[in-house]
A and B are shown apart, each in its own frame.
Chain A
Amino acid sequence: ERNGSSKDEL
């Protein structure tokens, strides 16, 4: 998954 991307959390 793209790390540190703005909205990678649920």
Chain B
Amino acid sequence: MGCMCSSGIKHTPGYEDPALLAKETPFTVSEVESLYELFNKLSSSIIDDGLIHKEEFQLALFRNRNKSNLFADRIFDLFDVKRNGVIECGEFVRSLGVFHPNAPVEDKIEFAFRLYDLRQTGFIEREELKEMVIALLHESDLVLSEDVIEVIVDKTFSDADIKGDGKIDKEEWKQFVEKNPSLIKNMTLPYLKDITLAFPSFVLTSELED
């Protein structure tokens, strides 16, 4: 099962020609094939149906299939472009393309904006920002008082919300990231440049994993 079987004949839903994907992403054809290998591994970890289910995504991220996380949920939803509850291999490769070191910074800024626009209103609102800070605190050992959280959210919001209308729009987000480039550091995965080294071939990788 998976994106591409060794025979190359049977393909699962969402299969896309690696050559076409390579044209539309920063990846080479061999890098796309290596990502297919990674996809096959992730998509068969719980249900071997060639699709990444949320539990499989959580298992890969946290080594725990039941660990839900606000941010992992948002990433999953953004990768699930068709919004059918699973990540298909084409969606996986296209989405990871944004995280490639050579992907346009504008794409990374846009992706991060959509990530943080929890309710998809086209704006990052103060309540959303506070919700994300609280979610982050819940998953870490960091304990901050309600007052401190308010101060952090207020300060960040006043810095980013240039127009002062109580919400951060895309243009304001872009300017804020340009002033604070470290905010999108996690939108780049240096590992993607070495993906063919990690997954050199379909056959070899499956043998190594045994």
Do A and B form a real pair? no
Interface residues of B (CB under 8 A from A): none
Interface residues of A (CB under 8 A from B): none
